[in-house]
Amino acid sequence: MQLMLQYPDLHGPDHDLLDAGSVPEIAAAAERFGWDGLSFTEHPAPGANWLSVGGHQTLDPFVALGAAAAVTQRLRLLTYLAVVPYRNPLLLAKAATTVDRMSNGRFTLGVGTGYLKAEFFALGTDFEERNELFDEALDVLPMHWSGERFSYAGKHFNARDVLALPRPVQDPIPIWIGGNSALTLRRVAAGAQGWMPLLGPPEMATTTRTPFIDSLAGVADRVRKLRDLAGDRAAAIDIAVPYLVDSITSVDADAERHRDQLGQIHELGASWTIVAGPWAPAPAALEFIEAFAGLFDERGAP
């Protein structure tokens, strides 16, 4: 199992996101200390009220991952996750291709339908159309990446005889889909390269608008369902399970608990765990990056 570092998403309006450390600094440290990947989330128009009750700040994930690509050679780079309905799918495809080329084929496009109604309104996107727009993008992305001419009539656009070059390094760029719904599992089984479950209490599910999973047993149940749906494709689908570490002091004090939990995640079939570290200004993030990676002698098993 491989370890993906989630760039520390500082919560609330009282700090600047980059107080945790600059993107090049964090990315270089993650690679130096043996992490396997780095991810950034996305909220381009978070509401002040949402931030004040636990919402988190973000950078543009594609720009940030481009900066990370420039200072690393090995890290997998993930949008965790890009909200597909916010963008025309041709712009999304081009952004993904750009990061893939800049990183020499180390990019994974993690995607979701989104859940913050106010953010949809702020960006001029109809919240009720989000699933239709998401499925359009799943159709258009491989066409754009193919390097061949294509046409597509979408809900709000009409692309005629498009030839999108350059092509990405990867064929295709891996797409991981986030969410817990039956529809998400069907989408993953039908053709995506990975699944990103969301873990949290029932009240969080009300905000994120996806069925809640509050335990690894719940993840394991959906992994079994996904494998049944995917059939022969199942073994090739990455499973990326989130893992929260709430304080730097718990890394050493609770080392055995962390190893046990990561072992359980590995056993349920996860190929990645996405680790969110302490939400605190520097130097806590750098201390965490070194300390947590130091718990493990090998990436395959904690």
The pLDDT tens digits of the residues spanning 174-223 come to 999 999 999 999 999 999 999 999 987 665 556 666 787 989 999 999 99
Cα 104 from chain centre: 19
Question: Would you say residue 241 lies in a domain?
Answer: yes
Question: Would you say residue 300 lies in a domain?
Answer: no
> What pTM was estimated for this model as a whole?
0.94
The pLDDT tens digits of the residues spanning 119-144 come to 999 999 999 999 999 999 999 999 99
Nearest to 113 by CA among 94, 96, 98, 128: 128
| CATH code where residue 115 lies | 3.20.20.30
Question: Would you say residue 83 lies in a domain?
Answer: yes
Per-residue pLDDT, averaged over 142-147, amounts to 98
Look at residue 165 and tell me whether its pLDDT is greater than 60: yes
Name the residue range of residue 15's domain.
7-293
Q: DSSP string covering 192-246, please?
A: -SEEE-----HHHHHHHTS----SHHHHHHHHHHHHHHHGGGGGG-EEEEEEE--
Question: Would you say residue 2 lies in a domain?
Answer: no
**Number of separate domains in the chain:** 1
